[in-house]
Structure 1
Amino acid sequence: MRSPAPIARPFLVVPKRPPSATRAGTGDRPSSGYVLARRDRCDATKGPVIHVADCDRTPHDVRPVEPDLARKILTNGRPYFDACEFCRPDTELRIDLD
């Protein structure tokens, strides 16, 4: 029996966070307005999630994303990329995803 075809994912290069990209007093939280976080490492069908940088629901291994790139990801990368349901970066970026 053949395995199913791999899921096509959009290709996006997100730069790694430089050491100076943290805000004072927030530990390892990035200073840009938005971050990209993996949703679930065990399930390849669930893509990354865009969060506002100070969202309480972000995991520790996040990468900073500039506002223009976050807007581009949320408008063109659906349904693979998703916006956080709690901090709602799509609302802050004035994007209607519904």
Structure 2
Amino acid sequence: MRWRLKKALARAEQPSPRRQRPARPVKGAGALPAFAPAYIRTGFVIQQKRTPAGPEPALIHLADCSMIEGAPHRIRADEARAALTEPTVAPCAFCRPDTELGIDLA
């Protein structure tokens, strides 16, 4: 009986002979590739999060930030600058769009 169990465990631990498909990219996640046109890689986006407890503060990101989640909306630099003055909007701590815009939020 033990040899059957050991044989089954050894068979289960072997990698599958089938080829694994690469993971599908999530829309809006990750940085844009270097070959993307400059007008797409530059700019700003706003990301809004909704939770069961209510909306969280919106985040402003650089357009090529790798921390963007969900479906962000593209905005112009002047709109990003104005949005960052609102109490319900915060800059991304990773890509720091406030630094790019020349705003000191400290």
Match of 2:56 among 19, 42, 46: 46
The answer to whether 1:92 aligns with 2:104 is: no
- Answer yes or no: is 1:67 the counterpart of 2:80: no
What amino acid is aligned across from residue 60 of structure 2 in structure 1?
A: I
| d(CA) in 2 for partners of 1:51, 1:43 | 23
- Superposition deviation, residue 85 in structure 1: 0.3
Percent of aligned positions that are identical: 37
Unaligned runs of 5+ in 1: 1-22
Question: What is the rounded CA distance, in whole Å, between the counterparts of 2:60 and 2:49 in structure 1?
Answer: 10
CA drift at 1:41: 3.3
State the aligned residue count: 72
- Name the structure with the higher helix share: 2
TM-score by length of 2: 0.58
Q: Residue type matched to 2:91 in 1?
A: A
- Name which of 26, 33, 53 aligns with 2:43: 33
Note the residue ranges of structure 2 that are not aligned, 5 or more in a row: 1-32
CA distance in 2: counterparts of 1:44 and 1:25, whole angstroms: 38
Q: Which structure: larger Rg?
A: 2
TM-score where L is the length of structure 1: 0.62
